[in-house]
Amino acid sequence: MALKAYDLTGRTAFVTGAAGGIGRACAVLLARAGAEVRCADRDEQGLHETATLIKDEGGTARPHHLDVTDPAGLQQAVESCERLDVMAAVAGIMHSSPVLETRDEDLDRVLGVNFKGVLYACQAAARHMIARQVRGSIVTMASGAVDTGGPGLLCYGASKAAVVQLTKTLATEVGPHGIRVNAVAPGWVRTPMTQRHGEAQAHTEALMARRSPLGRVGEPEDVAHAVLHLASDASSFTTGQILRPNGGVAMPW
């Protein structure tokens, strides 16, 4: 019975940021659980690679080349689904700058993707689910950065803190429709996005591994399993919550 609760056969899941990293891992795992997966990203090549991975494993995937900062395009893609059961709003970007050097354009860019992009995905999914009376699940992507401050984290941390507030607020508003809304707040995860930071990334990764009781940093699949749990019937009485797959690192900095 426990395994049956994770079976998504006959359901449709929409994953933003699906071209790589955590988003790709989520799309692949949701497909393995039986869902038809709609993969969305602005990286067209990575998007099609994810769809191919799913199809090669016998799953069903449809790519949507779009930018999550475009609410009309996102809404149109969601409306193309006959039925939507799961929204995993994973798309996000990283940015680091000292508070005293943070520019308006930095804040606007990070909030535009990490907060507004999640907001638009949530809005599109909730509208679709309510109109079709689907008791679905919306999963947002927060971060361990919401639990503490750290050098350079203003834009990124603020955007993820806003996602937490969105998650908790939306959960109260759509709960009466049978829709659950939860967030995943990962610790440090080894992804193509974090790998771009060279020596700084290597230093941070080593530090996070030392601080974890498990002695390692996260992999995209670690986060994907948390998303699957919140997307499935195994968490049918869970809403407005923040799940933290962080290797036990309570204070990242």
Active site residue ranges: 156
CA angle 51, 53, 55 (to 5 degrees): 70
Contact 93, 109 (CB under 8 A): yes
